[in-house]
Amino acid sequence: MSHRKPFFKFVILFFYIAFACKAGAQENTNPRAEWFTDSRFGMFIHWGIYSGIEGIWKGEKIRHDNDYAEWIYYRNRIDKQEYVKILDRFKWNDINPEEWVILAKKAGMKYVTFTAKHHDGFALWDSKVGNYDLGDHSKPKRDIVKELAEACAKHDMKLGLYYSHWVDWEHPHGWDHSREIYGLSEDKYDEYWQDKVIPQMRELLTNYGEISLIWFDMWIHHSEAVVTKKQLLQLKSLIRELQPGCLINSRLGLSIEEDSDIDYKTLLDNQLGESKENFPWQTPATVAHSWGFHAMENQWKSTSTLLNNLIGNVSLNGNMMLNIGPRANGEVPHEIAQRLNEMGQWLLVNGNSIYGAQAFDLDKNMHDWGNITCKKLNDGKTLVFLHVNNWPLNKQLPVSGIKTKPSKVYLLADKQKTALDFSFNTVLTNINLPEKQPDNYISTVVLAYDTYPITDANLVAKSTYGGYSLTPKNLSIPIHDSLIVDAQRYGTIPSYVEINERTGLKWRIYVERPMSFHADVSYNSQSKQNKGTISIHAANDKISEKIRPTGRVVGEPNSDWHIDSFNSHRIGRIDFPASGYYDININIAPTNGQSIDFQWLWLDEIKTD
């Protein structure tokens, strides 16, 4: 009771943040999914019989190094009758699903998705389809789906339900991966489909009020599975008939490219976005590693990591659904609750940069200080949010690539919106930051524009360290990803481009005043002598030198881990006589039979007193 007043303050503040500045839906979003792209942040709840086993069965840990506790029924070959008896361990008088909803609310989440039926096939509601459900096996009788639905309605939280349609380890004709050995006919599988999946889905869609989304979990395309496209379309039609506004994810088994009626794409577990997408998409993510409660869990992600993951997805038009795995008494692990509460506190201040926000036009990896989201306001104005991970020690934040001058710059945490000093020059905005950063995790700087700003994405951003990092991934004329060799041996061998013949690479930068830079190049050459040349052309300067052998290095001591060495070489000095755009060209000319692995070119500003 003592927490009631603060909780309602949370509700009021979240309401204000979410709706004070309403953004238009992102492209390729159907009307059903507009709430989804505005919400951005939701809660996943993995809870079931497995929560009472806690990842350990008869003294033995779950038989897989991924430690997904919710798979223990299958992994440890538990007898069905013994599995159901685990419900006797549950503390039914302590279990209150409303507490999960309140935690989601405090965390700034806008929807919850509950595992109504996981792969174990056990229904966590009072199902009339068979007797493998909570209504038939809980004492006193419980219907957790009903209780959760009532709590969501009470607290204005959208409800989603997870339903494992493809995999069902309990039904004699459901898909169990052992069927890869013993086989399963399409006719037998269809018996499972018609006898269990369709009638249970009808119950969920009929008896529990508004269902905002159904979250399916088939992580392969239907062409690779026993389930048929006809069955999936039958299931989709049932949802559209009974809950026309309910969202359906791509793990139904139909991709959004195959069926435009699929509402959003679900990435792989804990897979974060890599590029901007114009359709709705979502990452299902964990605070730790296991989804269901695991007594031996020790892989907790930090609050900063979780916030960065959320911001990173929103900066690419994506959502994040963060999981909790309560125990058999309903209790959420302290580490999870702590991080969710900390995220909620951050969102109270910074939520305007997340809710209803979307991707900006610049590449997510363009700046080394963090990510960018934006929001188009109803009056045509635009807010651009800079999420700063590392507050620069020199208190100077360079923002490259925006060709429109902001009307104002301020801290999102500052209720007074006190203007920050800044300079603007063509395509570079330099912001003077205050001495103290406003947030211990990630601070948000707001650039306000009277219109949607014009951008120049074909540019290398100025680093917070005063230089320019020119790599194979930010070239003016991109090369195909297949030509870039990924980092190897745990990153001791960095990513590079292998060059065997004369090759030219080009980047574009903007220099805000007359400046001079040292040019340093990192490469690997296993030649025995100085052979071939590297030359750099920029402004009116040309500098070059012979390619030098770099030798080898011990990657890991006492492990016979010997690798080619990538060394940094100072090629010379480049002078830029005036402010403006400059093309930086590097030409690498190996001799016959020579291979050069180019890593990066770094332009390091020469400071003058």
User: What are the boundaries of each domain within the chain?
Assistant: 40-355, 360-449, 468-605
CA 462 vs CA 174, 364, 397, 543: distances in Å: 56, 14, 9, 22
Burial of 437 (0-12, 13-18, 19+ CB in 10 A): middle
Q: How many residues does the chain have?
A: 609
Closest Cα to residue 165, out of 95, 91, 215?
215
pLDDT of residue 609: 62
Phi-psi region of 316 (alpha: psi -120 to 50; beta: other; left: phi over 0): alpha
- Tell me which CATH code domain 40-355 carries: 3.20.20.80
0.85 cut: is pTM over it?
yes
pLDDT at 28: 83
Collapsing DSSP states into helix, strand and coil, what is residue 82? helix
Please give the full DSSP string across 442-477, using - where no structure is assigned.
-EEEEEEESSPPPB--SSPPPPTTSSEEE-TTS-SS
Residue-level pLDDT at 13: 37
pLDDT digits (tens, 9 = 90+) for 399-450: 999 999 999 999 999 999 999 999 999 999 999 999 999 999 999 999 999 9
- Judge whether 360-449 and 468-605 match in fold: no
Q: Which residue type occupies 558?
A: N
Rounded CA separation 328/249 (Å): 29
Reported as half-sphere exposure (CB side, CA atoms, 13 A), residue 449 has a value of: 19
Torsion of CA 315, 316, 319, 320, to 10 degrees: -70
- Both tokens assigned to 37: 């792209």
> Where on the phi/psi map is residue 107: left (φ > 0), alpha (ψ -120 to 50), or beta?
alpha
Q: Hey, how many other C-beta atoms are within 10 angstroms of the C-beta on 268?
A: 10
Q: For residues 317 and 219, what is the distance between their CA atoms, to the nearest angstrom?
A: 21
Amino acid 593: pLDDT: 86
Strands across the sheet containing 158-163? 247-248, 213-215, 158-163, 111-117, 41-45, 318-324, 281-286, 265-266
Residues of the chain with pLDDT below 50 are 1-24
3 in helix, strand or coil? coil
User: If you average pLDDT over every residue of the chain, what do you get?
Assistant: 94
Q: Are 133 and 125 in contact (CB under 8 A)?
A: yes
What's the CATH number of domain 360-449, 3.40.1260.10, 2.40.50.100, 3.40.630.40, 2.60.40.1180?
2.60.40.1180
CATH of span 468-605 = 2.60.120.260
